[in-house]
Amino acid sequence: MKNKIIIFSFLFLFVCLSGFYFNNISPVPASANAEGSAAAATAETSLLTPADLTVTPAKGFIEDTLAVTLATNEMELPESVLKIIAKNKIILYEFGAGKCAQCKQMKPIIEELQKELEGKVEIKLFDVGSDKEITEKHKIMLIPCQVFLDGEGKELFRHEGFFSKEEILAKLKELGAKL
């Protein structure tokens, strides 16, 4: 019985490893093309973000799996894959009030960013007086308050007080947004 378990474990490990090997599941930086090697491109690319990824069908061992690889070309993706990509989108919620001086300073900055980053980052303005449900959900205590979320609504970062446009853009880049 013990020998059968060892053999089964070995075979299972072999099958899994060969599946990864034959499917070539290894991310390659988008800058690695016919002109340069993957190693040289990796040195140039310090951080890979979800926006750099496309999903292509795996070839070989497991036909139904998807291998995530970096690519420069666009392709039509299945809805399930689009949902995964949407989860990696950055969302910015700005909480404020009409009578708050710093909130009044923030409003034109946020409106400008909404126009500039349309389609790249979802940015929403909320009034703590009229949008009480979402204000309570995010436990807003001080305003203005900027809450950065991932596509699933998980909080990534929170800032309370005035936040300049440059600081917001820097934080979005730090969180992986493609600007």
Q: Is the model's pLDDT at 27 over the cut of 50?
A: no
pLDDT of 85: 57
User: What is the Cα Rg of the chain in Å?
Assistant: 22
Q: Write the pLDDT tens digit of every residue in 68-88.
A: 433 334 456 566 655 555 556
148 contacts 91 by C-beta, under 8 angstroms? yes
Residue 172 pLDDT class (50, 70, 90 cuts): very high
**C-alpha–C-alpha distance, residues 112 and 68, integer Å:** 34
Across residues 19-25, what is the average pLDDT? 50
Residues linked to residue 155 through DSSP beta bridges, in sequence order: 149
84 contacts 107 by C-beta, under 8 angstroms? no
pLDDT of 151: 86
Among 23-32, 81-90, 109-118, 134-143, the minimum mean pLDDT is found in: 23-32
Domain limits of the chain?
Answer: 2-87, 91-174
Q: Write the pLDDT tens digit of every residue in 115-124.
A: 999 989 999 9
156 contacts 138 by C-beta, under 8 angstroms? no
Q: What is the pTM of this model?
A: 0.53
Q: Is the model's pLDDT at 160 over the cut of 90?
A: yes
**C-alpha–C-alpha distance, residues 92 and 170, integer Å:** 13
**C-alpha–C-alpha distance, residues 1 and 71, integer Å:** 47
Axis crossing angle, helix 165-174 with helix 101-116, rounded to the nearest 10: 50
Among 46-55, 77-86, 147-156, the minimum mean pLDDT is found in: 46-55
Provide the CA 4 distance to its chain's centre, in angstroms.
Answer: 44
In the chain, where does DSSP find H-type helix? 2-23, 38-44, 79-87, 101-116, 132-137, 165-174
Q: What topology does CATH give the domain 91-174? A: Glutaredoxin (3.40.30)
Identify which of 2-6, 39-43, 144-148, 153-157 has the greatest average pLDDT.
Answer: 144-148
Across residues 63-67, what is the average pLDDT? 39
Tokens representing 101?
């001086």
